[in-house]
């Protein structure tokens, strides 16, 4: 609930400041490679780890993503949590530049909650001023995305 409200608040703030914004939805797929950076530390069955992220986006967003993820794996099947920061560099609907995604995810016995949003002020190049939320689904092992974003016109 907080993520859509935050995106709406950012859009209203831009309008209040006299900035016209263009909204769009980008769709496509991505591949991800994760590599452990340290040996996970386990205490009482809960393991904390750190991973590097490497992604390749295809579709309306043609880009690479590089970042780091912190994980917590519990002894309860299907229960875990993660946070990550990821810099995305490439083109979005023909505009080139970069921006940063902030991830926060939990899984409670298989029930997932995931929030991936653009860090305000992180846009560069033709993506300066970008705001948005990123949603992903996994279908038959393939990662698909829908990225709702806005940019100053």
What are the per-10-residue average pLDDT scores of the chain (153 residues)?
45 52 97 93 94 98 98 95 98 98 95 96 98 96 97 93
The runs of H, that is alpha helices, within the chain are: 2-16
Whose CA is closest to 10, among 135, 126, 123, 137?
Answer: 123
- Tell the burial category of 140 from Cβ atoms under 10 Å away from its Cβ (0-12, 13-18, 19+): exposed
Whose CA is closest to 49, among 21, 80, 28?
Answer: 80
The full 3-state SS of 53-82, as one line of letters, equals EEEEEEECEEEEEEEEEEEEECCCCCCEEE
Per-residue model confidence (pLDDT) at position 18:
53
Per-residue model confidence (pLDDT) at position 22:
94
Per-residue model confidence (pLDDT) at position 129:
97
The runs of H, that is alpha helices, within 20-140 are: none
Residues 99/127, Cβ–Cβ less than 8 Å:
yes
**Tokens of residue 56, six digits:** 């390749």
- Beta-bridge partners for 48: 41, 72
Instruction: Record the pTM.
Output: 0.85
CA distance 153 to 145: 24
Domains of the chain listed by start with CATH number:
2-152 (2.40.350.10)
């Amino acid at each position: 609930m907080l993520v859509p409200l935050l995106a709406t608040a950012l859009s209203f703030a831009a309008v209040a400041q006299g900035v016209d914004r263009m909204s769009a939805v980008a769709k496509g797929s991505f591949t991800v490679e994760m590599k452990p950076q340290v040996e996970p530390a386990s205490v009482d069955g809960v393991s904390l780890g750190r991973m590097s992220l490497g992604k390749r986006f295809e579709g309306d967003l043609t880009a690479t993503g590089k970042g780091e993820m912190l994980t917590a794996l519990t002894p309860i099947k299907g229960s875990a949590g993660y946070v990550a920061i990821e810099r995305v560099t490439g083109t979005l609907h023909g505009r080139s530049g970069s921006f940063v995604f902030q991830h926060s995810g939990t899984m409670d016995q298989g029930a997932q909650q995931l929030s991936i949003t653009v860090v305000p002020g992180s846009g560069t190049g033709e993506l300066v001023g970008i705001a948005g939320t990123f949603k992903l689904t996994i279908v038959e092992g393939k990662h698909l995305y829908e990225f709702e974003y806005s940019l100053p016109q």
